Structure 1
Amino acid sequence: MKALSRLLPGHGTLWLMFFGGVLAAWALLVATHVPVAVPHPAAEYGLAYLISLCTRSVADAGFVSVAAMWSLMSLAMMAPTAFPAFKTYSDMTYTDAASGSSLAVLVAGYLLVWIGFALPAAYVQVQLADLHLLDGAGKSTSAPLNALLLVVAGAYQFSRLKNACLSACQNPMTFFFSHWQPGHVGALRLGLRLGAVCLGCCWALMLLAFVAGTMNLAFMGLAMVLMTLEKLPQIGNRISAPLGVFLIISGTMVGVLALIDLLNGGI
């Protein structure tokens, strides 16, 4: 706790809860891949059930289980990417413009947006599974779908909406000054707006989970790092366009190979 207070002065308890929640989300995601022996008392009180929500295959998982998994993914992947913005808001509490409790409300508003994203994402996953377009790890088995998702994500990197949302994420102080609202209600609105901006920045990259596999920890970690770096001004402006080019080329190659396979099959 003292070390955390030195690194992040002020609101040590809130930061402990924040990082604890992120680590807990990652721990549950890891538990879906690594066999975990749950003690009998813990099983009785629901820990085994929480782990089981994410350990079922896509084929037999219901909407609730898939929504829980996407919510954990959103917390584990997206909360760290917004840390610079949260830290900026935290620094403003020293000016009496905000408070520790309003910081907590801001973070809650931000996460609420991503939980909202998890619901339609889970619905799409369940529908794709019903159409037998996903394997047991949540990875698309359709080359045309993979090509489409890659090209769309790559092209979106160059869109005006992406650039506008990314600019807001890269300049949190300007964002807060432009949309400032005092009090807890204002903090909630700011959190929701920040979450919406982040969603506008990252939704296409998040949907690439269907290409790599929604249960793919390596993809989750890599995507989290890329989206975090993209929100850092000095780094993000250098990787955003190359990432878009890479995704478009990858999607085009997947599409061409799928077309060749289709033509060969017809011969």
Structure 2
Amino acid sequence: MGPAGAARARPPRTVHAPRRPRPRLCLLYELAAVAAWITVIALTVTGAVHGARPQAPAPAGEAPHHHTAPSHAAHAVPGAGVVGGLAMWALMCVAMMLPAALPALAHVGANSLRRRRQRAMAGFAAVYLAMWTGYGALLLALAPLWSRLPADAVLACALALAAGWQRTVHKRRALRDCHRSSPLPAGGLRALAGTGRFGLRHGGACLRSCWALMLVMAVAGGGPGMLGWMAALTAIVTTERFARTPRRSANLAAAALAAAALAVALTPALT
């Protein structure tokens, strides 16, 4: 066959239509987490987040206690009391815990009909954050138990508890459950119920996995130091959720938390 025949036998080139970029299903929630971080930083810089609970008046002739354990969860917003403290806790949960829920949110969005996708994702996020807010309310009620104890001792104990929890079989099971998805009905009331159940299941697994880490936040106090603990604990939570080997990440976090507990415990003796 000559060159002309070969040219005629060559199949025509196929021109592929450009692929439409897939929408970022979780963009709104990513922005919400960033906005929560900006708000917490702004409240801290402006002094709206205080590092200690209001103290009872000291008896006459007795110096006030300056080393009681802080609790920004209880009095994060001056004058706002319990409501303000719980609002601040919810804001921190959006900043710290919402990034770890992004894969689950993407699963909800990808398995929902387009017309109800945003509603389903919002319902899942509401259930998930409501569970963490309820945990904050529990810590708020328990705060008087440690509010007048030495701050360094309380924080060191919370860090040691978190380090120990990281090494338990219960932590491993909870972390495994955090990585599980759930089949979701496409539409109707069954879809609404399925999204709610998935939010409860995923939120419960996340709460079982990270309750000790968030307990550290409840006793760490306010001020610039709070931002450091927030960043460190958010890094631990997010790494465990996105790592290919979550168990290894949990073990590394346990070592880091144990070292932090030792450093905090030794700080009073070195100063």
TM-score (normalizing by structure 2): 0.69
Structure 1 segment 79-94 matched on structure 2, within 5 A: 79-93=98-112
Residue of structure 1 in register with 2:163 after alignment: 154
**Matched residues, number:** 218
Higher Rg: 2
Are 2:49 and 1:55 aligned? yes
* Bigger mean CA deviation after superposition, 209-218 or 181-190: 209-218
- How far off is 1:250 after superposition? 4.2
Counterpart CA distance in 2 for 1:152 and 1:165 is: 16
Residue of structure 1 in register with 2:6 after alignment: none
Q: 1:10 to 1:237 in 2, by over 3 A?
A: same
Are 2:206 and 1:188 aligned? no
- How far off is 1:90 after superposition? 1.9
Residue of structure 2 in register with 1:19 after alignment: 30
Q: Which runs of 5+ in 2 are unaligned?
A: 1-19, 55-74, 76-80
* Bigger mean CA deviation after superposition, 119-128 or 221-230: 119-128
Are 2:259 and 1:245 aligned? no
Residue of structure 2 in register with 1:65 after alignment: 84
- How far off is 1:79 after superposition? 0.4
Q: Is the 8 A contact 2:128 2:199 kept in 1?
A: yes
Q: Which one-letter code corresponds to 1:93 in the other structure?
A: S
1:165 to 174, 177, 200: 174
1:229 to 236, 239, 259: 239
Counterpart CA distance in 2 for 1:214 and 1:164 is: 32
Q: Is the 8 A contact 1:230 1:240 kept in 2?
A: yes
Q: Which one-letter code corresponds to 1:78 in the other structure?
A: M
Describe the superposition over 1:164-216 as per-residue Cα deviations: whole angstroms up to 9, x where unpaired: 110122x333xx14xx5642122112112211111111111111225643441
Q: Which one-letter code corresponds to 1:55 in the other structure?
A: V
Q: Which one-letter code corresponds to 2:52 in the other structure?
A: V
Report the structure, 1 or 2, having the larger helix content.
1
- How far off is 1:57 after superposition? 4.9
Q: 1:184 to 1:238 in 2, by over 3 A?
A: same
- How far off is 1:16 after superposition? 4.7
Q: 1:90 to 1:72 in 2, by over 3 A?
A: same
Q: 1:125 to 1:214 in 2, by over 3 A?
A: farther
Residue of structure 1 in register with 2:120 after alignment: 102
* Bigger mean CA deviation after superposition, 198-207 or 238-247: 238-247
Residue of structure 2 in register with 1:203 after alignment: 211
Q: CA RMSD in A?
A: 3.0
Q: Which one-letter code corresponds to 1:29 in the other structure?
A: V
